[in-house]
Amino acid sequence: MDRKTIAALRQIVGADHLRTAPEELRCYSYDGTAREFLPEAVALPGSTDEVRAIMQLASATPFAVVPRGAGTGMTGGALAVAGGLVLALNRMNRIIELDAANQVAVVEPGVINGALRDEAARHGLFYPPDPASYKFCTIGGNVAECAGGPSAVKYGVTRDYVLGLEVVLPDGRLITTGVRTAKGVVGYDLTRLFVGSEGTLGVITKIILRLVARPQAKATLLVLLDSMARATGLVTEILARELPCTLEYLDHTAITLVADRLPLPLPPETRALLLVEVDGDRDAVPLAMARLRDFLAATGQVLALREASDPDEAEALWAARRALSPAAFKLRPHKVSEDVVVPRSRIPELVAKAEALAEELAIPIFTFGHAGDGNIHVNIMLDRTNPEEAARAQQAKELLFRQVVALQGTLSGEHGIGITKAAYLPLELSRDTIAVMQSLKALFDPGQILNPGKIFPPAVPPKND
């Protein structure tokens, strides 16, 4: 990026909102993967017009542009792998409108997920997508990744709440997609195309979101078990009886990592834990929880049941669950964190495979996750400075992915592909499917300037089909 380009960028966003000093660039060089790629400049636009001007400049020059929210992504989507400009949307953080009567919010991309949830709550409404990073990730990043969280088992993921978008295309054109009504089928569903597109097709500058009525009550139950097989086996049985708003599990290693944060001592035989929540009508929730407790007690399979006595105790349980990702680094300095999904009934097979891989390859692997929707976080722990261990971790990842596909699952439920899974895309998608996706990318971004190097492997090898 030459001085003329830098000067033009400064002209667009103002000197205060363009970063070029090495120490400032460093702050935008990494994300949740802990990998680092230094951009050549960082621009923090304050409006859609500024985003448009930047994209016009980028396509005319050309230079690479990498949209970025909070940089919490787990697959390297916000990393400037080809240099160029990081377009940080954090200043565009207004909740433009909260239309309570129609249960709709219109927001800029830099709004923090938690801020929207709080604002919706003030109007008696609820924005369900709740990634564990909700206190700091942005709605723009959530839309670009189609983020999900524990509540997805009942409420679905980000795509289920995006009604419409405003998007700046790589050449600077501005389009709007979707509706702000409950229904709408005019033309192709471009909204759904942009959701989960990982910042490769356009820069999202405005988002119209569906809200729902806030549940009146919630109850939280901790279920302790002496085996992982029992825990995963119970998941389908619970779902056959109640629709919880959360059904999470932790394996033994995961429990050990956060045991000191749990608000109660665990029996020493504890090997697995389920966290089950039901929400809804004030009168219905205690009844649903009582049915669930009765069922679980009658199975004779649980070590202990503990219902949170108040919201503070429930929050303490969740704080422990959210602390799991960072706590993993007690095991090894680096982590390969996968978010695979399998049909619920196949969770036991997947967990057994992860355990077998840990044993065979002598590498720490632990699992936890959204058991209710089959979305399992498999964490392969390693020290990247040890090449031999790094190779074993890589092997574990590939064998895991092959097993996931064999179980009719998918490589990613919420973190996307980015750079960390790009090489494995052909395991799941056929050559023709990938080619169609690449044609779409070329249609929106013929100059390949927007977030290059993401999703697609550099040269797609033929699928083994």
| Alpha carbon separation from 250 to 121, 227, 270, 271, 296 (Å, rounded) | 29, 11, 11, 9, 17
Nearer to ligand FAD among residue 18 and residue 51 (C-beta): 51
Tokens encoding 331 = 């095991």
Sign of CA dihedral 136, 138, 142, 144: negative
Nearer to ligand FAD among residue 207 and residue 363 (C-beta): 207
Backbone torsions φ then ψ of 53, nearest 5 degrees: -65, -40
- β-strand partners of 432: none
Tokens encoding 326 = 């960072």
Nearer to ligand FAD among residue 45 and residue 426 (C-beta): 45
Nearer to ligand FAD among residue 348 and residue 369 (C-beta): 369
CB of 119 to ligand FAD, least distance (A): 17
Nearer to ligand FAD among residue 76 and residue 426 (C-beta): 76
CB of 433 to ligand FAD, least distance (A): 20
Nearer to ligand FAD among residue 72 and residue 246 (C-beta): 72
Nearer to ligand FAD among residue 108 and residue 389 (C-beta): 108
Sign of CA dihedral 115, 118, 122, 128: positive
Nearer to ligand FAD among residue 143 and residue 262 (C-beta): 143
Nearer to ligand FAD among residue 204 and residue 365 (C-beta): 204
- Cβ density class 80-92: b for 16+ within 10 Å, e for less: bbbbbbbbbbbbb
Contact 426, 456 (CB under 8 A): no
∠ Cα 24 28 31 (to 5°): 150
Q: Taking Cα atoms as reference points, which of 170, 173, 275, 264 lies closest to residue 222?
A: 275
CB of 369 to ligand FAD, least distance (A): 9
Contact 84, 68 (CB under 8 A): no
CB of 297 to ligand FAD, least distance (A): 30
Nearer to ligand FAD among residue 70 and residue 250 (C-beta): 70
Spatial separation of the C-alpha atoms in residues 448 and 385, rounded to whole Å: 33
- β-strand partners of 208: 106, 164
Spatial separation of the C-alpha atoms in residues 273 and 263, rounded to whole Å: 14
Spatial separation of the C-alpha atoms in residues 119 and 122, rounded to whole Å: 5
Contact 172, 48 (CB under 8 A): no
Tokens encoding 192 = 């759904």
Residues in the site for ligand FAD, rule: CB under 6 A?
31-32, 66-74, 77-78, 89, 109, 131-133, 137-138, 140-142, 144-145, 147-149, 198-199, 203-204, 325, 414-415, 451
Tokens encoding 233 = 């086996």
| Alpha carbon separation from 435 to 58, 426, 441, 456 (Å, rounded) | 25, 11, 10, 10
Nearer to ligand FAD among residue 292 and residue 416 (C-beta): 416
CB of 132 to ligand FAD, least distance (A): 4
CB of 274 to ligand FAD, least distance (A): 17
Q: For tokens 């700091």, what's the residue?
A: 136
CB of 413 to ligand FAD, least distance (A): 8
Which H or E element spans position 280?
strand 272-280
CB of 462 to ligand FAD, least distance (A): 27
CB of 81 to ligand FAD, least distance (A): 11
CB of 59 to ligand FAD, least distance (A): 16
Spatial separation of the C-alpha atoms in residues 161 and 156, rounded to whole Å: 8
Nearer to ligand FAD among residue 140 and residue 374 (C-beta): 140
CB of 20 to ligand FAD, least distance (A): 20
- The number of residues in the chain equals 465
CB of 457 to ligand FAD, least distance (A): 16
Spatial separation of the C-alpha atoms in residues 109 and 206, rounded to whole Å: 6
Half-sphere exposure of 249 (CA within 13 A, CB side): 33
